Chain A
Amino acid sequence: MLMFVIDALLQGILIGLLFALVALGLTIIFGVMDIVNFAHGEFLMLGMYTVYWTNYFFGIDPLLALPVSAILGILLGLASYYWLIRYLLRGPAIAQLFGTFGLMLFLQYLAMFLFSADYRMIDKGVLVGKSYSIGPFIFDRTKLAAGLLSLLSFALVYYFLYKTKTGKALQATAINKEAATYMGIKTDRMNALAWALGGGTVGIAGGLLVNFYYAYPMVGILFVMIAFACVALGGFGSIKGVFFAGLLIGILVMIFPVFGQLIGSDFIGPHFKFTIVYLAYFIIVVVRPQGLFGWKN
């Protein structure tokens, strides 16, 4: 039994790293602009498709195709900002909510129209289908790679935000927009940067995900809900927070069914493992809205 728990823990951390990466973009955009991007899941979905098609048509290994999905994500983020979000900012909050909602629906249906609703998963690649055994534990190589690359991406983003001038400018805008403007930091450009960064990171996440999960037009909904839970748990706007929150949620998702097995319950089982995430979001925002590390409320 203990084996199962440890195994669940480890698997949870692995998948949690990816959840965190998915949620990273969301929290950045929120931190800087106070907008929740409902279309975030769709950016993920398009990132997945990008890597899939690159692999399919050009035979490029999915790991090497990551830069492509990153670039697509960046472009998507920028396009969304310049062609839609900027206009939404002028309106009330309800407009922003529906604007990004509309974007979400549009991208979903666009994908359905272009790619059809068939499920697609990578099947040709250096690491695909292989696994590593460490003692009694078996790990999917693609998941290991995903976890490592997530970690790397986090490190890069962290470095960017805290050690570079532009990054610090972004943070300044997040903390206090007006004050930042007085210091010569143009809000508009910072907003665009936030979207570019948000889109790029989730594009990479999508590219990683498609190695062990299938792409289809509606795949974004599930992941965006998980991302919301991570962002809420970690604290809206907090990078550190979303990282740990991702891990915790990943572990939660994996431990939950094991827990059910331990107490011999049929009701608590794998079929509720995402329900528990939704419930978690609800409980977190009601009980502790600032999450673990949040400073924005």
Chain B
Amino acid sequence: MKSLRFILFLCVLLLSMAIITPAYAQKEIKIGVLYPLSGAMATIGRDLQRAAEFTVDIINNKTPGIDLPMAQWGGIPSLGNAKIKLIFVDHRGEPDRGADLAKRLILDDKVVGLTGAYNSAVTKTVSAVAERYGIPMINDASTSPDLTERGFKWFWRTTPHDNYFNRDLFEFLKGLTEGKVKGVKAVPRSQLQNLAYACENTEWGSGVAKSLEAYAKEYGFTIKKGILYNANSPDLTSEAKALVSVKPDAMLFASYLSDALLMIRTLKAMKANTNLLWGQDAGFEMADFAKQLGADINGVLTRTVFIDKITKVKKVAGQLNALYKKKYGDDLTGATARSVVSVQTWAYVLNKAGSTDPKAIQKACNEIHIPENELVMPWAGVKFDSKGQNILGRGLIGQYQKKPDGSISLEIVYPFELATANFIYPFPGWK
């Protein structure tokens, strides 16, 4: 009799599982969004989710006060004003979970496309699934250069990747020696020749390190010391000392938040001195970095993609930011702004494709061109090359500067023509 009960139990289990499979409405275009909504990256994941929801709201409902075509659409025009529905899933930073969820989105929820996933490792597995099933994926924020080197036909990326950003740095250094930087006379090459870097040793940081080495060679600088360290290390004294010991003219970092904080504090405790200190976004760009270190970061440079200062030079950015701030209380950041761009790109692509057929979308992606003035980002636009990489993207280099009232604000110093303040040189350091 026990076996009969067991069989009965199985039947109930089966039935309940079949019911879980959702039924769906008709006039909606579904796009799957994979973000880390719980676990270690939850805070950023939730921010990205908000930004995406915010953008899709503007597209689906006529929003006054935003000078963007899509704000007047009220749905996707070429598809009968069908609304976009974002389906969010939480991959928790685990690549295999991300892949499984991607399959669910594609096969069960029948999405027309994907976006996400923030963590490069998860993006890799998710995009592999998309590639297999021939479903388009537009990636918003993963900057590992590898992602567009795979020869995938169903993967596009709006954000510039790390190599672009690293090149920006060297363009900046070169410009510094040529007197192109606002507020500073040309700096002799000898003052900037020797560089040292410390990058965290996972996928991202080690990629940056490789890129720095390559560009240094190309631009004629010397890397005196290069360190890869463990981002979770409780102590970075040895690393910091190793850097300081070679007396570099510039210190370059690729760090997440916690190690960035630790590194700066350690360097400060050692009263380290150098001419230029730069961080490759991530930790250096986060609000907490400025909040926790305050005046200590006066003069620190960071690569960034979007700062609120942009809102002053780009009208559309200002409008979107104001609306976002009104709704959620925070400014847009580099990460959230990119989330906005990816949803926006999806909308444009769908509109251009005029259909939800994957091949039509693929063609639209390969041909899309979003002009500069319709983007919240300070980019020249969105246009993908044959590898799926947006070639009109641009990074910014910002410098933290202490204001007379004691507050710290991030000013743009590169591109040179967008500079919002005089560059502080050399790095003031800590006395």
**Which A residues form the contact surface with B (CB < 8 A)?**
4, 7-8, 11, 15, 112, 116-119, 121, 123, 129, 131, 138, 140, 209, 212-214, 216, 218-219, 222-223, 253-254, 256-258, 261, 269-271, 273-274
Contacts and interface: CB of A to CB of B under 8 A. Distances in A.
Contact of A214 (B227, B230, B245, B258): B258
A119 B286 CA distance: 12
A271 B43 contact: no
A271 B228 contact: yes
A209 B234 CA distance: 9
B239 to A, nearest CB: 5
Contact of A269 (B42, B227, B270): B227
B121 to A, nearest CB: 17
A117 B262 contact: no
B269 A216 contact: no
Contacts of B233: 270, 273-274
Contacts of B245: 4, 261
B292 interface: yes
Contact of A15 (B235, B258, B261): B235
Given A119-B288, A271-B229, A271-B230, 10 more contacts: A112-B39, A138-B269, A138-B271, A140-B269, A209-B234, A213-B234, A214-B261, A258-B238, A261-B245, A273-B233
Contact of A121 (B232, B235, B237, B292): B292
A128 B91 CA distance: 37
A42 B9 CA distance: 40
B40 interface: yes
18 contacts: A4-B245, A8-B238, A11-B237, A15-B235, A117-B39, A117-B43, A118-B43, A119-B257, A121-B292, A129-B268, A131-B269, A131-B271, A212-B265, A216-B40, A257-B242, A261-B245, A270-B238, A271-B230
A213 B235 contact: yes
CB-CB nearest 7 A-B residue pairs: A257-B238, A119-B258, A117-B40, A131-B269, A270-B239, A213-B234, A270-B238
Nearest to A141: B269
Majority secondary structure, B binding face: helix
B241 interface: yes
Contacts of A4: 241, 245
A254 B261 contact: no
B41 interface: yes
A254 B292 contact: no
Contacts of A222: 232, 234
A123 B229 CA distance: 24
A112 B271 CA distance: 35
B373 interface: no
B41 A117 contact: yes
Contacts of A274: 230, 233
B366 interface: no
Contacts of B269: 129, 131, 138, 140
B292 A138 contact: no
A114 B228 CA distance: 33
B193 interface: no
Contact of A271 (B201, B265, B268, B292): B201
A270 B227 CA distance: 8
A219 B233 CA distance: 10
Contacts of B288: 118-119
Contacts of A273: 233, 238
Nearest to B232: A222
Contacts of B296: 129
A92 to B, nearest CB: 29
A116 B292 contact: no
B86 to A, nearest CB: 23
Q: Which of B227, B233, B234, B258 has the most CB of A within 10 A?
A: B234
Interface in B261-275: 261-262, 265, 268-271
A295 to B, nearest CB: 31
A116 B296 CA distance: 26
Nearest to A257: B238
